[in-house]
Structure 1
């Protein structure tokens, strides 16, 4: 009888152990699937070369600025209180684009009355050789801010947040322009316009705004603009300016950065800026001075346009020549003094 009872207890114990093992395996598998699903649409900063884990579902956290600044790379020098600081997003391999910008609209003649500066924003290159080239270029020109994040399209938000944080804290210019390395910036007109003609001194967030039908959130995972409901629940973004170029007054940038500390980032940089602006109570302002498309602009258009998108290196040089020609060729034409 005792032997019978021992046999029954032994079978029961084996069954319990087997069920426990099965339950543990199911939980492990579910956790692994959840982790893969969670990371599918996310963008992750690099910290000392490793990916930083994002918070669990249900926990809302903003931009991790500390991780973006981690690393040995020295920042460019900047003078406090300049009229304008131009932040240019650039991929590590886009050496030619940076060189042509330095030769054209980023070049300064003498000591301008309205001080301004151009800085390129670059992340961590995947290839060691490219990363070394970027470091040599940074040391030679002193105009590259290297952030601690993997340089990918979906990390563009982190790139801009890093640059904006550095600019607002270390340089404190009156205005910050964010643009891309395939854009032309009319530095012959813009600094003077901001210093002398612009009447919106505070709360300024201005650029080429997208119409409502272009502000729908893309839920297709195969799209490079994909945003999951986990990252952003509404189906429509608030009004926001195209990432080709937008200008922020210093106070607006500071309020936006404060909002970024508690608003979950999304991998659509310009839309995220609109989300932060709305959170900070800043209204996006539309201006036709920011052109989303490159066209056959006439010489005198360069007295009005401030940013033009989608220019090749050769077209950058042509646009700069047209800007210089406009100084004398269009001197007698009426100048528009408003953002519109």
Structure 2
């Protein structure tokens, strides 16, 4: 009898201890859950607004920009020349190669001149986060609300004009190129820039003009030929790989867009050809200065092309023909150019 009673008391004691432990831990967890959280301050930055809010007539009214939140526009003085590089959102490695070669942010003319590269990319839903991360690391990627398709090249080129005139309104001209281009910076700074600097107040575009200087666009070229057949007359437009445009010319072209709601023509002939002609923008043709300015388009590796020709201003990498492995070419060509500078 006494043995059963002691066992019963022992069981009751153990049960009481178990209940106390459960109550203790429940109370402890309740305090932990209701304890006020310590606020964590996270610094966030928003992209700067354009210094000048331009009137956006016609098709320009639908264009929106997304800049890097770390882009300090007030740091770019008038002796900094903007270079707008049209790039596809997926060409992340190519942009990195350009930053580390010809697009490296350095000074020229005894520190009196700088060139600043800006990459203008279109929208790609699959790459939104990667582009945002690239913008957070670098201050040179501008995303525009235009699909990354050849059919929208005209919109992209007009976006470059609009961005420069909105965000860098005090700059008198800008250069436009593409991410499949490797530039000889020695010739650009010493020979090309003095030409545009001498006419920066004029209403003018400087580049290669003429039928023999048109860049083939693969299957897209069929669309170009269909929309603008030879019988329609000779439309004099700039080769898209590189040209310079003054602020006055850009303003005239954008003003001409006020009655245009849809662009049906291909980019190259429309912007620097049809639209330029209607806006009465003058041209300066580099094709008349072959002793100073030459180019190579998909002929041979740029490393070889620059080695053979000291007057070569630009050369296209294999990205121009669609190669996904073009990045090493930028470094190979740059090593040759460094030896020439």
Q: Please state which band the TM-score falls in when normalised by the shorter chain.
A: 0.5 to 0.7
Secondary structure class of the residue paired with 2:174: strand
Secondary structure class of the residue paired with 1:270: helix
More helix by share: 2
Counterpart CA distance in 2 for 1:113 and 1:300 is 31
**Which of 65, 90, 93 in structure 1 is aligned with 2:60?**
65
TM-superposition CA deviations, 1:50-103 (whole Å, max 9, x none):
xxxxxxxxxxx9752221116687594442524521111111111111110011
Secondary structure class of the residue paired with 1:84: strand
What are the within-5 Å matches in structure 2 for residues 28-177 of structure 1? 63-69=58-64, 76-78=71-73, 79-109=76-106, 112-127=111-126, 130-172=127-169, 173-177=171-175
The 1:275/1:82 distance shift into structure 2, 3 A limit, reads: farther
Secondary structure class of the residue paired with 2:263: coil
Secondary structure class of the residue paired with 1:184: strand
User: Contact 1:180–1:244 at 8 Å: present in 2 too?
Assistant: yes
User: Contact 2:174–2:244 at 8 Å: present in 1 too?
Assistant: yes
Q: CA RMSD in A?
A: 3.4
The 1:300/1:214 distance shift into structure 2, 3 A limit, reads: closer
Per the alignment, residue 179 of structure 1 pairs with 177
Most deviating of 283-292 and 134-143? 283-292
Counterpart CA distance in 2 for 1:221 and 1:86 is 26
Instruction: Give unmatched runs, 5+ long, in structure 2.
Output: 1-55, 319-325
Per the alignment, residue 278 of structure 1 pairs with 277
Q: Which has the larger radius of gyration?
A: 2
Secondary structure class of the residue paired with 1:179: strand
The 1:71/1:144 distance shift into structure 2, 3 A limit, reads: closer
Normalising by structure 2, report the TM-score: 0.65
Most deviating of 178-187 and 310-319? 310-319
Counterpart CA distance in 1 for 2:238 and 2:84 is 15
Q: Displacement, 1:228?
A: 5.3
**Which of 310, 314, 322 in structure 2 is aligned with 1:307?**
314
Normalising by structure 1, report the TM-score: 0.65
TM-superposition CA deviations, 1:239-287 (whole Å, max 9, x none):
0111111111222222222223334524522111211211121233321
The 1:66/1:134 distance shift into structure 2, 3 A limit, reads: same
Q: Displacement, 1:223?
A: 3.6
Q: Displacement, 1:139?
A: 1.4
Per the alignment, residue 41 of structure 1 pairs with none
Instruction: Give unmatched runs, 5+ long, in structure 1.
Output: 1-60, 328-340
TM-superposition CA deviations, 1:286-336 (whole Å, max 9, x none):
21425251543354844x333222353222212222222112xxxxxxxxx
Secondary structure class of the residue paired with 2:224: coil
**Which of 243, 268, 276 in structure 1 is aligned with 2:266?**
268
Counterpart CA distance in 1 for 2:238 and 2:129 is 34
Secondary structure class of the residue paired with 2:312: coil
Counterpart CA distance in 2 for 1:107 and 1:71 is 22
Secondary structure class of the residue paired with 1:284: strand
Counterpart CA distance in 2 for 1:298 and 1:70 is 36
Q: Displacement, 1:189?
A: 3.6
Counterpart CA distance in 1 for 2:79 and 2:313 is 18
